[in-house]
Chain A
């Protein structure tokens, strides 16, 4: 699943401190006037800010919105956009849309899995990589498509995948 940004922030993303997490979450909640119906929108912004949903943020959301924690967990675990564990610094996304499938995306996914040594939805132990799949980026002419750091690659060979992974720090 491509995160909500075609162009992610350039350079290394610093891991936030607990204080930073709290204050940014508070700001997001305030921006939405602590509106219960904005739960999903609020969580999307927290996810984008932190690359995951920190536990402290979930507690804060439950408290400020007056939504039971059970509800917050329910929403947070239902949607693919959310991660309850910190995600890797580098996101590799492989499109599994029908057009890409027909053009060989399962084989591409195999290559990426072999290179990164993780399966879709997983993050490598050193938090370097997260691998996700997405259904249709709308670039079917390039298919099968892989997105790395906002850059689109059409039908990359096994060697090209390796090169891209090696280029990540």
Chain B
């Protein structure tokens, strides 16, 4: 790899790479992000390599392991170019057929295609509803890039924005363009990136830092991971452009240590960028020096907070600072430091490439561009989705997400992670927009979008988040450490059926002080999950406190499992799976749960076949007296045990 010493060199390299690539040459891309990896994509990739070789196709077909494609529910995902044929849930055993049928005979393997509700198959990624309604301007390139090969990024136009910035624009012009685009931080804060850059640039001091925040601590959010794993150069390019605009020559990428693949791929990207002269001294011969270090987290959500992260980079314990001076002015070692989220940085090259006018044409008045969400929970199509700001929550959940799993009833959607809130069905027409979501009592957050259904207990959700925050609180300040502790205590009592009148008011009282007096945003936003669920789901709280009832049947202490004698078909599945052997019965005999032995693990509820649905969750009322042992089942027409 020879150093590229000018924009002309870069263009020459790009042409060289493209000339060696036939756009019509078949290329099998296998999603190799952590999600598909967990589903065995590695073995699928190996199977392709071997089958292609065995069929004598090695010279005629490329295999590329790419980053996350986003359709995590249906992984492992394989897309075959140039047609864009999309195969879902591919197993190693499917590979020989795909190779012979699709690669050789140019036929489709129907059973691996996406099927819509009418049974029609859709062969191209672009036609599948999950992808069709998205706007994958930042994330889309993941499907075409092997993150371990910088040439793939360059082939798609990578680093042209950097060359343009360094040679055709002054730092001020770059700054102006980003300001004009109104790019707001994608990490949760939503602060205008351009304004922060400017503050950092104007702050006194020659040494300034730029930082990528890849700590992504929100449970249920993995957008940054997939971006960093799948397209690290997009983030790096944005970072270098930002450094140029701000006047920084040293950067940090702070990655949580729970993301080993992201660390690995980022390190490789830095290495290759340096070899090409796109990072380090005299980038592309421009005279601009800039380099980057990777700093790993060590398992602390609070260390993802701006000032805490910077303290961690200094080698100290990553706790937030109580200062009132912005980190843009006084950050790492008290020097001006500009911190932005992974997605924010990855959007910068696009803005430089296509202009702020293009960027501002997407989105709403206050929120421009797109946002990547991790759409997870009780939704059919779990995965990473990128949509234009302004799209309605309803459209994301139903058009892209495919609605609620197992045809259950939607209950709430949670955004903003532990700092956010739950929104009920009545607010589903809200657009994804920084200010709209905040007004409704939630927030955009980093992008976690958790869909909840009738089987989700909202009091339990509040308890879950507060428990998480209690675990993650650094513990320095009283209102957060002790305030959250007491809120958890109250929520635990409520979920255990020991709620007292006045508990809701007490939660609100503590919330006020925790919100107003905490040292950092963790404490300040901690009350949000509690307050938003009290606001929209007060009935559930009241049911728990006044009637010891958990309407969703989640809180163990308030829920019993009961096999409905008129629905049981004696299939014995629950009997065999009960971990404490609490179910009696047999062939043709109604199954009965011994309530004294039952540990409420919920296995019977989960394994009872949907067509029988014979296990009921009982809460807030006594469990019916069991039928006598030896009672025979009532056979439904056409049902067999």
Contact = CB atoms under 8 A, between A and B. Distances in A.
Interface of A: 1-2, 4-6, 35-41, 43-44, 67, 71, 74-75, 78-82, 96-99, 101-104, 107, 110-111, 114, 134-143, 145, 152, 157-159
Nearest to B223: A138
Contacts of B474: 78
Please provide the 10 A-B residue pairs with the shortest distance between their CB atoms, ordered closest to farther.
Answer: A80-B299, A138-B222, A98-B220, A99-B376, A158-B579, A79-B298, A37-B315, A152-B38, A97-B219, A135-B219
Interface in B174-231: 217-222, 225-226
B452 interface: yes
Contacts of B37: 6
14 contacts: A4-B263, A4-B296, A6-B37, A37-B313, A41-B295, A44-B296, A71-B317, A78-B300, A98-B464, A98-B465, A114-B579, A138-B374, A139-B72, A159-B577
A140 B376 contact: yes
Given A79-B298, A97-B219, A5 B226 contact: no
Interface in B443-464: 448, 450-452, 456, 461, 464
Contacts of A1: 258, 299
Nearest to A93: B258
Nearest to A40: B298
Contact of B315 (A40, A82, A103, A145): A40
B391 interface: no
Contacts of B39: 139, 141-142, 152
B302 to A, nearest CB: 9
B72 A140 contact: yes
B315 A39 contact: yes
Nearest to A5: B260
B170 interface: no
A101 to B, nearest CB: 5
A101 B72 contact: no
Contacts of A39: 315-316
A136 B220 CA distance: 5
Contacts, number: 161
Contacts of A96: 219, 468
B463 to A, nearest CB: 10
Given A79-B299, A98-B464, 13 more contacts: A6-B34, A6-B260, A38-B315, A40-B315, A80-B300, A98-B448, A99-B374, A99-B377, A101-B464, A102-B461, A138-B35, A140-B220, A141-B35
B456 A135 contact: no
B478 interface: no
Contacts of B318: 40, 78-79
Interface residues of B, number: 64
Interface in B305-335: 312-319
A40 B312 contact: yes
Q: Which of B37, B298, B456, B607 has the most chain A CB atoms inside 10 A of its CB?
A: B298
A79 B376 CA distance: 27
B316 A71 contact: yes
A34 B397 CA distance: 51
A4 B465 CA distance: 25
Contacts of B606: 104
A40 B72 CA distance: 33
A71 B257 CA distance: 21
Contacts of B172: none
B298 A81 contact: yes
Nearest to B37: A6
B603 interface: yes
Contacts of A107: 601-603
A139 B39 CA distance: 9
Contact of A40 (B296, B468, B579): B296
Contact of A78 (B317, B448, B450, B601): B317
B406 to A, nearest CB: 11
A39 B297 CA distance: 11
A107 B225 CA distance: 27
Contacts of A101: 219, 461, 464
Q: Which of A4, A114, A145, A157 has the most chain B CB atoms inside 10 A of its CB?
A: A4
